[in-house]
């Protein structure tokens, strides 16, 4: 039996994934800081595939936005 992703939706604190077998999975956005800090519009640009969920706009060449970067001291 193969289970596939059907829909993805969000509320203020959770990501909800509906599966083809009728189950719904809820995952805290806190587990995914990029999604937590993304705008609702950016979250909605999700691509569903057999390999999972993808947010090209949130990861395309932007590095890890979840970590604070230290700046070099200027002289």
Query: Each residue of 3-28: pLDDT tens digit?
Result: 889 999 999 999 999 999 999 999 99
The owner of tokens 């993805």 is 8
Which residue ranges form the domains of the chain, and what is each CATH number? 5-59 (3.30.2020.40)
Q: Tokens for 26?
A: 């809820």
pLDDT in tens, 22-74: 999 999 999 999 999 999 999 999 998 888 888 888 876 555 555 565 666 66
Q: Tokens for 10?
A: 């969000």
Measured CA to CA, the distance from residue 69 to residue 19 in angstroms comes to 38
- pTM, whole model, 2 decimals? 0.72
């Amino acid at each position: 039996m193969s289970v596939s992703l059907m829909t993805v939706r969000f509320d203020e604190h959770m990501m909800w994934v509906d599966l083809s077998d009728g189950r719904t999975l809820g995952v805290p956005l806190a587990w995914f800081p990029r999604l937590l800090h993304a705008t609702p519009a950016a979250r909605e640009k999700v691509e569903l595939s057999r390999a999972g969920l993808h947010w090209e706009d949130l990861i395309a060449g932007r590095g890890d936005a979840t970590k604070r970067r230290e700046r070099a001291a200027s002289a």
